Structure formats: C-alpha cells, structure tokens
Amino acid sequence: MSHQHSQSSHFKTYVRWRPLSPNESSTAEIGRSVDQYESTHSISLSFEPHLYRPRTWKSGASFTEVFEAGAMNSSVFEGVVAPTLPRVMDGATCNFFAYGHSGSGKTHTIIGYNNEVDEQLGLALSASRDLFRALDEINIKLGGGTGQGNSEQDLGVAVRLYEIRGKLAVDLFNNNAECHVREGPDGQTHIRGKTEVLEDGKVRVRPIVAHPCCTIEELHSKLRAGLEMRKTGSSSVHDESSRTHAILEFEVVNKALLDARDAVIERESELVPVGKRATDVHLEEHKNAYIQTPEGKYTRNPDHTINQGRIDAAEAEKSEYETRLQLAEAAVVECFKSCQHSCLGGKFVFVDLAGSEYFVQGNDASVVGPKQTSQERQQGRQINADLFALKEVIRACALNHARIPFRSSPLTMVLRSHFLGSRGGLSAMILTVSPSEAQASATLSTLKYGNLVAVAGAVGKK
C-alpha cells in the first residue's frame, strides 16, 4: 500500500476547557488567557493565593489549539480528528488520547453523552460516521460493491473495545473476558484470552474480539453494548469517573482479511498440540537413554536405544504444521497487497485515559472527595504509573529515541503497535481541564504534563 505522508513521530497537543458544573456555579474560576503565535498557542493562568501553588503559571508556545468552554464536540472534532481521515484512508493509524483529572470531560470528549445531536457526538462516533461515508463511496466505485458486506472485497469497519485494568486487558465485547498482555518472541505485544482446549485436542487462544460492522447503525449498537460493560468507582475527585483506560479501535477491513486472520488463529490452534507432542517425544527418548548410578551420576542406559525415527517423525509433523501457519500468515499479507485501495488496515484509535488521582489532598485543601477503599487507592497508583509510562513513551517517540520504554506498563505495551505499526500516522493528545479554582492543582498538573509532551513533539518535528 502506498503512503504519501512521512512517518509521524510527533504529537499534536490540544487543550479543552470544560464549563463549570452546576455544583460549581458558586466557585471562582481560574484566571486564564491565551497567546497565539505563528502556529501554536500558550496559556497563562492566575490563581487565588494558596500555600502549595504558585500565583501564576505560563506554558510554552506548545499547544496546537485551545478550545474554550463553549466549544461543542463538533468543533473539537473538526479541529483535531477530521483532518486525519485522509491518513487513515491511506492505511495509517491515527491515535487520539484524552488526558486529564477525573471529571474534566474525557469521556464526554471521546464518546459524548448526547448522541442524538450531531454537535454533541463524541470524537469517536463522529470519526466512524465520516469513515463509513468514505468507505461507502469506495465500495460503489470498486466493482459495484454494496457496502453491506455481500462481497469479500466490500470494505467495512471492525470495532474493538477493551480496557486496561491494572495489569490485565478486559475485552468488553467478550463478557469482560480477562486477557493477558505479553511480549512474544517476535518482540510484538500480544493480547490473548484464556486458553481453550477443544474437543479434538486443539488449543485456542482468542485475541481481542473485533466486531465487523457494515453500517454506522450497526457500529453504534455494538459500541453502546460494550460501553455498558465499563466499570466505575468512587474516584477521589469525580464519583462517576471510570477507573480504567478504555481503548476503542476502528479498523478498515473486508471479509477476505477477517477470514485470513481467523485462519491464522485456526492454524495456531492446530500447531500447539503438535508442537507439544514433538517436545514430549524428544524428552521421553532422551530421558530413557540415561540412568542414575548409585553414586548419583548419570550414564547411558544400555537397555535403551534412542528411537531417532520417532523423534524425526514428530519433528516432521511439527514442521508441516508450522508451514501451514506460515502460509496462513502469508495470506494475511496478500490480502493487503491485493486490495484495490490502500485504506485496508487503516485505524482510528481513541484512548479514554483514566483520571490522574491526587491522594495527597492537602496539596489542594479545596478538593474534597469521597473516601476511597484500599483497592481503589491501589488502582489509582497503577493509573498514575501508567500515565507516567505513557508520557515517557510519547517523549521517546517524539525525540526518535532508539529505545522506547513500551514495557514500562501494560498500557504502553498495548499501545506499542499503534505507535510503531503504521507509517504516515499522526497522534494527538487532548488535555481536558476544569476552570474551577477548586480543581486548580489538578488543572495545573494536567497542563504541565501536556506542556512537556507538546515540547517533545515540537522537537520531533524539526
């Protein structure tokens, strides 16, 4: 597939202020102003006097755009996501992160709460709408496809929705099935569910479920069902905040690609018992070839001759099944080569990051939240560790470091393929912040984090 864009190692960083909530109507607002430069913006803040906080703070000229509290989701979409559609239609992956403290508007920005009104559609649903429109046009042009999945080459969208809870991934399209996040011998990250032993002895390990959708209505229905599975907890700042990172993927697929990927899973399930049998035969033959002397030493067993023919037969069978797997993997590659349009495999990835929690609430005496359980405090510590790891990965990618610390956390391991797997992609972070003085420390922390990321991204663009 052809890629017109150069590899993007930088991030664009945006700021979105939310309105004051009804229960904040009597609280003071943070003083703020925006300075515009050639293509970036800086933010200046002023606060009420506080023992643990400066009176003023100013960012660098780091932010691509600053959306004020009155901006609708549609405006944010047009400014942040819509310009990347051509990249996805060229087969690239574009990632969008919402980062901020709990209650700052992350979920509203990514998903939206009033999906009956176009202006309030979250960024993800707006992206899926535009993606389907583009694919419908291609399906009609390419051999008269209907766009309804009736042809192996008809293009549709596969949707995946899963969470990172602690060190596990949880598949929201598979009854909250817990999946392990591991690095394989190939250096790639693999997300796999529990091992299933089938009746014929095959061993199958399913990846994250991908629901193929032919229409926007079908996708919305699947997404609503998955979102109902999300868990919430009593965050120290916002009692409806999710305490997990949610990852939503929209991938351009066709039936041929999905069938080829299913065939790979089938070949893998066939190889596992055959490979195990070859190992068992090898161990049995060599184990029986030696005996232990009374002195505790091992010597050859004169009564046993290694049956090399048995070993060779088991290895030959293993080699045959390995070849089958290689052919199945090659068929996946061929799907991309034979597709008439380069959009196959293109992805939108939206990440609703869990809120960064503030356990030492003495840093901001005005922040008062419900008491957390010990489990929630532990979850909060893991969330903060994930967010730190993400920041380091973003900086390393932006600065083109040879070693990028993806293995620092399960979150960054999962995101590895999205950062590195596509040329021509683009990533952006939306910093969601509150204008309330009661959340001043949280807002300042979010903007400082974003400023570091934005500065690193600017270096990466040079």
Residue 100 marked ligand-binding: yes
286 labelled binding-site residue:
no
Residue 106 is labelled as binding a ligand: yes
Enumerate residues 6+ apart whose C-beta is below 8 A from 349: 93, 94, 95, 96, 247, 248, 249, 250, 418
What is the Cα–Cα distance from 81 to 85, expressed in whole angstroms? 7
Is 262 in contact with 246 (CB distance < 8 Å)? no
3 state SS for 47-101: CCCECCECCEEECCCCECEEECCCCCHHHHHHHHCHHHHHHHCCCCEEEEEEECC
Is 202 flagged in the annotation as binding? no
Single out the residue of 383, 389, 377 nearest to residue 354, CA to CA: 383
CA pair distance 351, 394, nearest whole angstrom: 14
Query: Would you say 102 is a known binding-site residue?
Result: yes
The per-residue b/e assignment along 122-151, b for 16 or more CB within 10 angstroms, e otherwise, is bbbbbbbebbbebbbebbeeeeebebebeb
Residue 242 DSSP class: B
Please indicate if the annotation marks 122 as binding a ligand: no
Cβ-based neighbours of 19, under 8 Å, separated by 6 or more = 69, 70, 435
Residue 31 counted as an annotated binding residue: no
50 in a known ligand binding site = no
Assess contact for 375 and 359: CB atoms under 8 A: no
Q: State the binding site for ATP.
A: 100-107
Q: State the binding site.
A: 100-107
